[in-house]
Chains A and B, each alone.
Chain A
Amino acid sequence: MGLTLAWLSLIVLIPLSTVFIRSAGMGWADFLAAGFSPRAVAAYTVSFGTAFAAALVNAAFGLLTAWVIVRYDFPGKRVVNALIDLPFALPTAVAGIALTAIYAGNGWVGQFFEPLGIQLAYTPVGITLALIFIGLPFIVRSVEPVLEDMSAEVEEAALSLGANPWQVFARVILPAILPSLLTGFALAFARGVGEYGSVIFIAGNMPFKSEIAPLLIITQLEQYDYAGATAISTVMLVASFTVLLFINLIQAWSRQRMNG
Chain B
Amino acid sequence: MSALSFIRARHLLIAAALAFIALFLVLPLISVFFAALQKGLAAYGAAVVDPDALSAIRLTLLVAAIAVPLNIVFGVVAAWSIAKFDFPGKSLLVTFIDLPFSVSPVVAGLIFVLMFGAQGWFGTWLQDHDVQIIFAVPGIVLATIFVTFPFVARELIPLMSEQGRDDEEAALSLGASGLQTFLRVTLPNIRWGLLYGVLLCNARAMGEFGAVSVVSGHLRGITNTMPLHVEILYNEYNFVAAFAVASLLAMLALVTLVLKSIVEWRFGYHHGSARH
B66 at the interface (CB under 8 A from A): no
**Contact between chains at B209 and A196 (CB < 8 Å):** yes
Residue of A91, A132, A194 near B249 (CB, 8 A) is A91
Contacts of B138 in A (CB 8 A): none
**Contact between chains at B209 and A201 (CB < 8 Å):** no
**Contact between chains at B28 and A3 (CB < 8 Å):** no
Contacts of A159 in B (CB 8 A): 1
Contacts of B78 in A (CB 8 A): 4, 7-8
Among the 9-residue stretches A32-40, A75-83, A118-126, A171-179, the one with 4 or more Cβ atoms under 8 Å from chain B is A75-83
Contacts of B253 in A (CB 8 A): 86, 89-91, 94
Residue of B87, B100, B203, B210 near A12 (CB, 8 A) is B100
Given contacts A11-B145, A92-B207, A87 and B257 within 8 Å (CB-CB): no
Residue of B82, B98, B207 near A91 (CB, 8 A) is B207
Which residue on B lies nearest to A88, using beta carbons? B276
**Contact between chains at A88 and B234 (CB < 8 Å):** no
Question: Chain B's nearest CB lies how many Å from the CB of A125?
Answer: 14
Residue count of chain B within 8 Å CB distance of chain A:
87
Contacts of B250 in A (CB 8 A): 90, 94
**Contact between chains at A94 and B230 (CB < 8 Å):** yes
* Assembly CA distance A94 to B204 (angstroms): 12
* Assembly CA distance A97 to B227 (angstroms): 11
B200 at the interface (CB under 8 A from A): yes
Which residue on A lies nearest to B102, using beta carbons? A240
**Contact between chains at A214 and B81 (CB < 8 Å):** no
* Assembly CA distance A195 to B260 (angstroms): 24
**Contact between chains at A184 and B274 (CB < 8 Å):** yes
**Contact between chains at A94 and B1 (CB < 8 Å):** no
**Contact between chains at B111 and A72 (CB < 8 Å):** no
A22 at the interface (CB under 8 A from B): yes
**Contact between chains at A4 and B81 (CB < 8 Å):** yes
B198 at the interface (CB under 8 A from A): no
**Contact between chains at B77 and A218 (CB < 8 Å):** no
Residue of A3, A98, A108, A241 near B32 (CB, 8 A) is A98
A5 at the interface (CB under 8 A from B): yes
Question: Chain B's nearest CB lies how many Å from the CB of A66?
Answer: 9
Which residue on A lies nearest to B105, using beta carbons? A196
Contacts of A46 in B (CB 8 A): none
A68 at the interface (CB under 8 A from B): yes
**Contact between chains at A94 and B249 (CB < 8 Å):** yes
The 9 closest A-B pairs by CB, nearest first: A91-B207, A194-B104, A197-B209, A196-B210, A141-B274, A214-B106, A89-B253, A98-B28, A15-B111
B residues sitting closer than 8 Å to A (CB atoms) are 1, 9-10, 13-14, 16-18, 20-21, 23-29, 31-32, 35, 74, 77-78, 81-82, 85, 87, 93, 95-100, 102-107, 110-115, 119-121, 142, 145-146, 149, 200, 203-204, 206-210, 213-214, 226-228, 230-231, 234, 239, 242-243, 246, 249-250, 252-254, 256-258, 260-261, 265, 274-276
In the assembled complex, 18 residue pairs joining A and B whose CB atoms fall closer than 8 Å, in A order, are A1-B85, A12-B146, A19-B111, A64-B16, A82-B258, A83-B257, A91-B208, A91-B253, A102-B28, A133-B24, A133-B25, A194-B103, A195-B105, A214-B106, A214-B107, A217-B107, A217-B110, A230-B110
